[in-house]
Amino acid sequence: MLKAPFLPMSKEEMKSLGWDRLDFIIVTGDAYVDHPSFGAAIIGRVLENEGFRVGIISQPDWRDIKAFKTLGRPRLAWLVTAGNLDSMVNHYTASRKPRSKDAYSPGGRAGLRPDRATLVYSQRCRQAYKEPPVIIGGIEASLRRFAHYDYWDDSIRRSFLIDAKADVLVYGMAERSIRELARELSQRRCSIISDQDKILPIAHGIKGCCYVLNSLDLLKEGDFIELPSYKEVLNSKADFARAFLIEDREQNPYLGKILVQAHDDCWLV
């Protein structure tokens, strides 16, 4: 496959590569800079190296659904990130005053991304083409994968995966996770899906991922630890502290167990 000098951002750039469709479309709140200091560029190049066709929608106008249709429908999935910086930190100072510049936008121009961009972009992707799975990642999603304290609202919010209504949340340095997810998506797309596959989430068994289950029947007892639920951490500072302690302790990639947290009528895994 022809390696793109830059990941395409328009139908014209796709055409120049001989591509009529993309496997993955990355939606990012940053300007597109093809450099390893930008997560979207790294993930795009990792997937391209695996043989997938990847395009980028950079800083789309979230008020216009057409901006999310500019590259057509992704064959395998949407990949959504707020960018290199948490969008709320990008927009506001610690005293909640609006910032006048955005270091990750052309010319430092502010206002080219929404508050909590991960949530907004995910919803817009669904509205544009609802069939492809939505996979969220980046620092904004990673730090909010559990029920968490939100400084800007001064409240406890649910996991971003729940609020975004996305299919998978990938956290941390996700090069390995995204490769496994891409292979799994491609295999399911190209094969007859068995009854067992229908009930298994895309990310089941892939490290560095979060997903949602309606029950815990798929998980083996003893393989996971149940955190205090969203309602418990919402109503008790002691439960919030206990959940945080467990989350921190189980981050060890070799010895850490799967963590689950009840959110209303479903489970964050």
Query: pLDDT tens digits for 42-59?
Result: 999 999 999 999 999 999
Sequence-ordered list of residues with C-beta below 8 angstroms from that of 9, at least 6 positions apart, any chain: 32, 55, 56, 57, 58, 71
pLDDT score, position 89: 94
DSSP string of 118-171, one letter each residue: HHHHHHHHHHH-SSS-EEEEHHHHHTTSSSEEETTTTEEE--HHHHHT-SEEE-
User: What six digits make up the tokens of 18?
Assistant: 């001989």
* Cα 40 to chain centroid, rounded: 11
The pLDDT-based confidence of 245 (bands split at 50, 70, 90) is very high
Mean pLDDT (the chain, rounded): 92
Q: Which of 175, 177, 201 is nearest to 188 (CA)?
A: 201
Query: pLDDT tens digits for 83-121?
Result: 999 999 999 999 999 999 999 999 999 999 999 999 999
Range 55-64 average pLDDT: 97
Q: How much of the chain, in percent, has pLDDT values that exceed 90?
A: 85
According to DSSP, the β-strands at 212-213 and 155-157 are unpaired
pLDDT score, position 190: 54
* Residue pair 227/149 in contact by the 8 Å Cβ criterion: no
Separation between Cα atoms, residue 7 and residue 15, nearest integer Å: 12
* Residue pair 74/126 in contact by the 8 Å Cβ criterion: no
pTM (predicted TM-score): 0.93
